[in-house]
């Protein structure tokens, strides 16, 4: 009797629950279609969505720290290559260790398909051993034809060049007896790719042959309610801990309902004393956002897409380059306000947030955008992605 088809969900880089939520939605669908599913994750503490879906967990290979360089104190975010190189891709020994880890996992799991979510080296290791589907938000699912990665920050000077990074990767591949990559974009080569966001949030949109195909919502977004009121905030505790962010949140008082998983007790106490309502447990995103006049978040692709589809104005407080790209795109489209927190001159206070909540023009444009984006979901993205994964099996 032939064994069931087997899928390995691979997550390699990145923090937050977005990665595990994305893979859990795919995995749950495939497991319900008589497919054996297992996930390799770098952070078990951030993998609750996979565990809830009943998907067994394995440890993804850790990226060792690269050999230090004198300029390591300078942020590396000019290009995607720049950031990945700083994490370890510039060091052939680091790359080789990760490749060995993935090859050992592939030996153990023997998957027919590897679904990669921000897992460049997992896909490289799987070449010739399993089919590969890459799926995720736009930032870490770039086209594979790039000879050089596009600049994310105008006039920025990358600390790491594409050519030197590619050389390090290829040195590791050669040491492992594997074929080299022809270009830096081939780190993201696959049998199929599904960019799971809206085109508005796709930094690489002008470079793709196929538009981004829509977020993997687990339920249809709801339009903003007529009686919507107040602000719904979803922020990481490290962001909340920044002095001016915490002061701003406290200044919003009873206008703000905040979800910040893992928020330390002292900060929670200060916020509740100021009148902020804290969601201590997970919330249903669709009805929660539909009941808000404004969504305040850090620019994550998931929350940006949720609010965009609901037609609710947004305000983004961003640190990471991916979040900055999302927040800038929303602001440029007239759908929100954007604050780049690394800029000490950027204004941030409770009045600024309240002004965004009360901006009728912002609300009008966001509502219109919501109607348009909900229409694009009639051909449900998760159904299409599941079918394409099945086709690869």
Question: Left if phi > 0, otherwise alpha if psi is -120 to 50, otherwise beta: which for 275?
Answer: left
Residue 155's pLDDT band, with cuts at 50, 70 and 90, is confident
Residue 17 contacts residue 45 (beta carbons within 8 Å): no
Query: So what's the pLDDT on residue 77?
Result: 87
pLDDT tens sequence across 276-325: 999 999 899 999 999 999 999 999 999 999 999 999 999 999 999 999 99
Adjacent-strand bridge partners of 316: 297, 338
- Measure CA 143 to chain center: 16
Taking residues 24-43, report their average pLDDT.
96
pLDDT tens sequence across 202-250: 999 999 999 999 999 989 999 999 999 999 999 999 999 999 999 999 9
**How many of the other CB atoms lie within 10 Å of CB of 18?**
19
Residue 359 contacts residue 331 (beta carbons within 8 Å): no
- Measure CA 303 to chain center: 10
Residue 127 contacts residue 114 (beta carbons within 8 Å): no
76 vs 336, more confident: 336
Distance CA 104, CA 99 (A): 9
pLDDT tens sequence across 320-361: 999 999 999 999 999 999 999 998 899 999 999 999 999 999
Distance CA 45, CA 316 (A): 25
Taking residues 55-72, report their average pLDDT.
95
Query: So what's the pLDDT on residue 1?
Result: 60
Taking residues 186-197, report their average pLDDT.
98
Distance CA 29, CA 37 (A): 10
Residue 275 contacts residue 230 (beta carbons within 8 Å): no
8 vs 157, more confident: 8
Q: Is pLDDT above 90 for 76?
A: no
Distance CA 326, CA 203 (A): 8
pLDDT tens sequence across 96-109: 999 999 999 999 99
Query: So what's the pLDDT on residue 61?
Result: 97
Q: Is pLDDT above 80 for 366?
A: yes
User: Residue 300 is encoded by which pair of tokens?
Assistant: 């994550």
Taking residues 50-73, report their average pLDDT.
95
Query: So what's the pLDDT on residue 54?
Result: 97
Taking residues 142-164, report their average pLDDT.
91
Query: So what's the pLDDT on residue 254?
Result: 97
Q: Name the percent of the chain in helix, strand, coil, to the closest 5.
A: 45, 15, 40
**pTM, to two decimals:** 0.94
Distance CA 118, CA 383 (A): 21
Per-residue exposure over 299-309, b if at least 16 CB sit within 10 Å of its own CB, e if not: bbbbbbbbbbb
């Amino acid at each position: 009797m032939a064994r069931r088809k087997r899928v390995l969900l691979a997550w390699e880089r990145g923090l937050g629950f977005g990665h595990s939520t994305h893979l859990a939605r795919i995995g749950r669908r495939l497991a319900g279609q008589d497919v054996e599913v297992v996930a390799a994750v770098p952070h078990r503490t951030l993998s609750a969505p996979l565990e809830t879906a009943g998907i067994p967990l394995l440890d993804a290979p850790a990226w060792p720290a690269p050999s230090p360089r004198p300029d390591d104190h300078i942020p590396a975010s000019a290009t995607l290559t720049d950031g990945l190189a700083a994490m370890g891709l510039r060091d052939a020994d680091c790359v080789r260790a990760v490749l060995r880890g993935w090859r050992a996992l592939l030996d153990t799991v023997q998957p027919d398909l590897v679904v990669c979510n921000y897992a460049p080296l997992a896909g490289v290791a799987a070449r010739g051993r399993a089919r590969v589907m890459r799926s995720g938000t736009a930032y870490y699912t770039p086209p594979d034809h790039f000879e050089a990665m596009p600049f994310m920050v105008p006039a920025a000077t990358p600390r790491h060049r594409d050519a030197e990074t590619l050389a390090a990767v290829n040195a590791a591949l050669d040491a492992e007896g594997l074929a080299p990559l022809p270009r830096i974009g081939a780190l993201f080569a696959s049998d199929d790719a599904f960019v799971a966001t809206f085109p508005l949030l796709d930094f690489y949109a002008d470079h793709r042959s196929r538009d981004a195909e829509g977020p993997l919502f687990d339920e249809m977004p709801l339009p903003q309610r007529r009686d919507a009121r107040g602000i719904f905030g979803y922020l990481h505790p490290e962001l909340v801990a920044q002095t001016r962010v915490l002061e701003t949140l406290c200044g919003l008082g009873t206008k703000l309902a905040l979800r910040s998983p893992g928020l330390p007790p002292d900060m929670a106490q200060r916020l509740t004393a100021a009148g902020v309502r804290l969601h201590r447990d997970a919330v249903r995103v669709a009805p929660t956002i539909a009941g808000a006049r404004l969504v305040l978040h850090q620019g994550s692709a998931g929350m940006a897409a949720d609010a965009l589809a609901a037609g609710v104005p947004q305000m983004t407080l961003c640190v990471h380059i991916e979040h900055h790209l999302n927040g800038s795109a929303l602001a440029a489209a007239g759908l929100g306000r954007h604050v780049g927190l690394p800029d000490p001159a950027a204004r941030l206070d409770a009045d600024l947030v309240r002004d965004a909540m009360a901006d009728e023009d912002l609300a009008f444009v966001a509502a219109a955008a919501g109607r348009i984006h909900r229409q694009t979901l009639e051909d449900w993205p998760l159904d299409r992605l599941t079918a394409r994964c099945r086709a690869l099996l």
